[in-house]
Amino acid sequence: MAKRTLELEKSKMDGKSTREEDVIKLIKEKEQTNIELSTLKHELEIAKRTLELEKSKMDEKRKAEEEDMIKSVKEKEQTNNELSALKQELEITKKTYELRCLQMETEAKDAKADLDKRLKELVQLLDDSRNKVKVLEAYSKSQKQKWNKKEIIFQRLTEFQFGALQELRLSSQCIKHEILKAKKSYSEDFNCLGLKFKKLVVEGENYHLVLAENRKLFNELQDLKGNIRVYCRIRPLISGQAEKQTTIEYIGENGELVVANPSKQGKDGNRLFRFNKVYGPNSTQGEVFSDTQPLIRCVLDGYNVCIFAYGQTGSGKTYTMTGPNGATEEEWGVNYRALNDLFSISQNRSSSFMYEVGSISEHNGLVVPDATMHPVRSTSDVIELMEIGLNNRAVSATTLNERSSRSHSVVSIHVHGKDLHTGATSQGNLHLVDLAGSERVDRSEVTGDRLREAQHINKSLSALGDVIFALAQKRGQAKTLMFVQLNPDVASLKDTISEKDGEIERLQLLKDLKNAYPSVNGEKQGTPLKHGYSSMSNDSVRGALRNQKQSSKTTSDHDYCSENIDKHSELDSQQSAEDLKQQSRFLKQSKYSRGDINQDVEILGYADGDREDRLSDVSDGCLSVGTEPDISTGESTKPLESEGNKVLSRVRSLQKLRQTTSSSSRDSPRAPTSMRKTATTNTISVKPPRRWQ
Ligand SMILES: Nc1ncnc2c1ncn2[C@@H]1O[C@H](COP(=O)(O)OP(=O)(O)OP(=O)(O)O)[C@@H](O)[C@H]1O
């Protein structure tokens, strides 16, 4: 190649021989080419050597490859062997595989059927779920709507409350403002009140003085009306009895009572009795209590009050004191009403007084070893105790085979009061007594135990007479009210007009005498007694009756009832004094005060001398209802017992007195029946110290 290039270049140099530079250049290029040729030669030699090396290597390689080929042939043979073994194995495997495929196909078919079934189920489930989703979606939609509504309402409510809160804030500010204003005015008012209160305190002190004065005046008024009052109550005839069988001829408004004896003609047929008041058969329990009520206040003011009912069996003592069995409030007797009053007045006064209505004793008859004390707080407590007492009474009656009415029943209420202002204390007692029947022993013609019992009863009634005498002498501050019970039945006439009633009438007049006569007409104390218990001529009684029929109120045309005033008003003390004057005038003006009528007057009770004896007898005794210290406490029992001899001597002197009086004629002054009865019981041993325990 370099040769060609040199030839080319030589042709070119021939073609252009002219130029020297080109020849030089060409020479130079020839030299260069020579160099390059030698280089190429060298390179060629190197390549030749390399080729030789390569050729030896190739030979070696070829040998190695031949060995490898032999090796490979051998391996190929081995591989062919293995391949045939593998082919066989493959055949077997193929067969196994085909079998397996068949098996798998059947399994796949089963699985497919199974899957189809499950797919169906799943599709069903999917449908159900979709339905449920739909329902839930609807529910959630409605819930959402609800919540939206609620949200709206809540928002409105919040807005409203917010508004209200604002209003409240405003109004609270207003109220604050007003409170401040009110506070200011209150403090001003308080200051004012303080001043007024100081004034009131001063006036309150005066009020207590006025109150005390008022109480004093009230009790003085009761004193003026008499410390002993005798009211007569006539029970109605039992149904079926004709009106004509009644023995009651006339009931005056001033306490006069005319009893007629149908077996007697003329002036002896009628008898006049006088009481503080007479309650007719139609009187209600309330009316009867209205005249008793003021005495209950006295108990709370520290006085001793004794209210008792006296009369023959069946005359209405229990009815008046307690009321009928299973009584309604209207039918309540004096006991319940008095207790009700007692508790209600004590409650009304509770701001200025503290009362302890501490105890009650319930005992029957004179000998009362089992009399008991109980604390009481209300009327019902007392009623309960009274019922227990009644039951006890019934039990003892059964064991004795006697009637309950043959014993006394005494209920005592003790009231301890304290004036919260002054600290002063008071002690008052209220004794409510339902006495045993007062019928005469001789009439009942009893003997043995019954006789003895009747005599005991008479003895206790005699003691009652003593107590009344003691009271009549103003020994103490006790106030006594006696209900004389009458049975208008003709058969009971003997007991109605018995000497015992004469005694009560006499006692009644003794009370009048003590209370009024000495200061009214200046007569000797005993004189009016002669007018006390009298029989009237039939003419005068008929006149009185005629007058009563003409007008129940206009009584002016008859001496007997001519000047009638309401002497039972509780609040008017002047009227009470007027009443006493009236009684005096009545005695002066009446037929019985004139000489001609005096002959008609049957003088009962004692002659002055006898009475004096009797009073001196009584004054020796120790009995005094109410004036004694609390007789139910242990302390008071001893003094009573220590005075036993005194009582015994007093009983004996009464018996002596009775013996003298019982021997006198009918026209002579009479001893009280009870005392005469005691005379007949002379043989019975007396245990005086236990009386009225
Ligand atoms: N004012 C009256 N109104 C209606 N009934 C009356 C009245 N007074 C008494 N009675 C009745 O007469 C009967 C006898 O009365 P009560 O038992 O009160 O008499 P008593 O005097 O207590 O008798 P005793 O001495 O036997 O205890 C009773 O049935 C009673 O209900």
Mean pLDDT value across residues 556-563: 30
Q: Is 316 annotated as a binding residue?
A: yes
Taking residues 75-79, report their average pLDDT. 91
DSSP 3-state of 301: coil
CA of 314 to the centre of ligand 1 (A): 5
The two tokens of residue 4 are 């060609």
Instruction: Please tell me the least confidently modeled range out of 51-60, 222-231, 477-486.
Output: 222-231
Is the pLDDT at 164 greater than 60? The verdict is yes
User: Does position 242 have pLDDT exceeding 80, yes or no?
Assistant: no
Mean pLDDT of 229-236: 89
Ligand 1 site: residues with CB under 6 angstroms?
235-236, 311, 313-319, 324, 405, 437, 485
Nearest CA to ligand 1 atom 25: 313
Q: What is the pLDDT of residues 322-372, one digit of tens each?
A: 888 888 889 999 988 988 888 888 888 877 677 776 545 555 444 444 455
Ligand 1 mean position to 315 CA, how many Å? 5
Q: Which residue(s) pair with 250 in the sheet?
A: 258
How many other CB atoms sit within 10 Å of the CB of residue 232?
Answer: 26
Q: Relative to the CA of 403, which ligand 1 atom is closest?
A: 26
Work out the mean pLDDT of the chain and round it to a whole number: 67
Report the nearest atom of ligand 1 relative to the CA of 485: 21
CATH topology of domain 226-690: Kinesin (3.40.850)
- Rounded distance, CA 492 to CA 438, Å? 12
Q: What pLDDT band is residue 7 in, cutting at 50, 70 and 90?
A: confident
- Among residues 310, 274, 368, 271, the alpha carbon closest in space to that of 674 is found at 310
Residues 606-630, mean pLDDT to the nearest whole number: 30
Name the token pair of 190.
């308080």
pLDDT at position 416 is 83
Q: Which of 308, 318, 444 to mutate to test the pocket of ligand 1 (most atoms within 8 A of CB)?
A: 318
Q: Residue 457: which pLDDT band, with cuts at 50, 70 and 90?
A: low
Strands (E), 453-555: 479-486, 534-536
At 78 the pLDDT is 92
Q: Which ligand 1 atom sits closest to the C-alpha of 324?
A: 31
Look up residue 365 and give its two tokens. Answer: 């008859």
CA 71 – CA 51 distance, rounded (Å):
29
Phi, psi values for residue 603, rounded to 5°: -85, 120
Q: Which of 60-74, 372-386, 457-471 has the highest mean pLDDT?
A: 60-74
- Determine the distance separating the centroid of ligand 1 and the alpha carbon of 320, expressed in angstroms: 8
Establish whether 317 is an annotated binding residue.
yes
CA distance to 296, 403, 504, 666, per residue, from 496 (Å):
29, 21, 12, 18
Among all chains, which residue has been given the structure tokens 């039990």? 395
Q: How far is ligand 1, taken at its centre, from the CA of residue 188, in Å?
A: 67
Question: Atom 13 (ligand 1): residue with closest C-alpha?
Answer: 314
Confidence of residue 120 (pLDDT cuts 50, 70, 90): very high
Among protein residues, the one with the nearest Cα to ligand 1's atom 15 is 316
238, 288, 319, 444: residue to mutate for ligand 1 pocket, most atoms within 8 A of CB: 319
CA of 321 to the centre of ligand 1 (A): 10
Q: How many CA within 13 A on the CB side of residue 271? A: 22
* CA 405–ligand 1 middle distance (angstroms): 11
Contacts 24+ apart (CB under 8 A), 205-209: 208/352, 208/421, 208/422
* Per-residue pLDDT at 277 exceeds 60: yes
pLDDT digits (tens, 9 = 90+) for 410-449: 778 888 888 887 888 888 888 888 877 665 444 445 566 6
Helix (H) / strand (E) containing 627: none
Mutate to test the pocket of ligand 1, among 235, 328, 403, 461 (most ligand atoms within 8 A of CB): 235
Selected residue with higher pLDDT from 565 and 304: 304
Classified as helix, coil or strand, 411 is: strand
pLDDT of residue 478: 77
DSSP annotation of 246: B
Instruction: Please tell me which residue, 374 or 594, carries the higher pLDDT value.
Output: 374
526 is in an annotated binding site: no
- Chain-centroid distance of CA 152 in Å reads 53
Write b or e for each residue in 163-195: b if 16 or more Cβ atoms lie within 10 A of its Cβ, otherwise e. Answer: eeeeeeeeeeeeeeeeeeeeeeeeeeeeeeeee
| 648 has pLDDT over 50 | no
415 touches 355 (CB < 8 A):
yes
DSSP class of residue 591 equals G
Q: Decide which of 20 and 647 is more confident.
A: 20
How many beta carbons lie within 10 A of that of residue 548, not counting itself?
19
- For residue 152, pLDDT over 60 is answered with yes
Q: Pick the range with the lowest mean pLDDT from 56-65, 147-156, 220-229, 416-425.
A: 220-229
Does the annotation place 626 within a ligand binding site? no
- Decide if 539 contacts 249 (C-beta within 8 A): no
pLDDT 10s digits, 649-658: 333 333 333 3
Lowest mean pLDDT among 98-112, 197-211, 593-607: 593-607
Which numbered atom of ligand 1 lies nearest the CA of 233?
A: 1
Question: Is 579's pLDDT higher than 90?
Answer: no
In the predicted structure, residue 228 carries a pLDDT above the cut 90: no
Given a cut of 80, whether residue 687 has pLDDT beyond it is no
Q: What is the mean pLDDT of residues 105-114?
A: 94
458 confidence band (pLDDT: 50, 70, 90): low
Strands (E) located in 170-291: 228-234, 248-251, 256-260, 270-274, 277-279
Q: Would the annotation count 314 as a binding residue? A: yes
- Of 473-482, 508-517, 542-551, give the range with the top mean pLDDT: 473-482
Q: Would you say residue 682 has pLDDT above 90?
A: no
- Distance between CA atoms of residues 349 and 82, nearest Å: 139
Q: How confident is the model at residue 43 (pLDDT cuts 50, 70, 90)?
A: very high
Interatomic CA distance for residues 297 and 479, integer angstroms: 12
123-137, 178-192, 221-235: range with lowest mean pLDDT? 221-235
CA distance 249 to 270: 8
Q: Which of 419, 355, 425 is nearest to 205 (CA)?
A: 419
What is the average pLDDT across 98-121? 94
Instruction: Enumerate the domain spans of the chain.
Output: 2-204, 226-690
Specify whether the CB–CB gap between 506 and 529 falls below 8 A: yes
What distance in angstroms lies between residue 238's CA and the mean position of ligand 1's atoms?
A: 10
Going by C-beta distance under 8 Å and a sequence separation of 6 or more, which residues neighbour residue 651? 678, 686, 688
Kindly report, residue by residue over 311-325, the tens digit of the pLDDT: 888 888 889 998 888
CA of 317 to the centre of ligand 1 (A): 6
Q: What is the mean pLDDT of residues 10-38?
A: 82
- Produce one character per residue of 505-522: b if its CB has 16 or more CB atoms within 10 Å, e if not: bbbbbbbbbbbbbeebee
Ligand 1, atom 10, residue with closest C-alpha: 316
Q: Of 147-161, 390-404, 557-571, where does mean pLDDT reach its minimum?
A: 557-571
Closest Cα to atom 16 of ligand 1: 316
619 annotated as belonging to a binding site for a ligand: no
Query: What ipTM does this complex have?
Result: 0.97
- Point out the ligand 1 atom lying closest to the alpha carbon of residue 325: 31
Q: What is the mean pLDDT of residues 74-82?
A: 91
- Identify the band that residue 393 occupies on the pLDDT scale cut at 50, 70 and 90: low
Tell me, in angstroms, the distance from the centre of ligand 1 to residue 44's CA. 181
Question: How far is it, in rounded angstroms, from Cα 306 to Cα 300?
Answer: 13
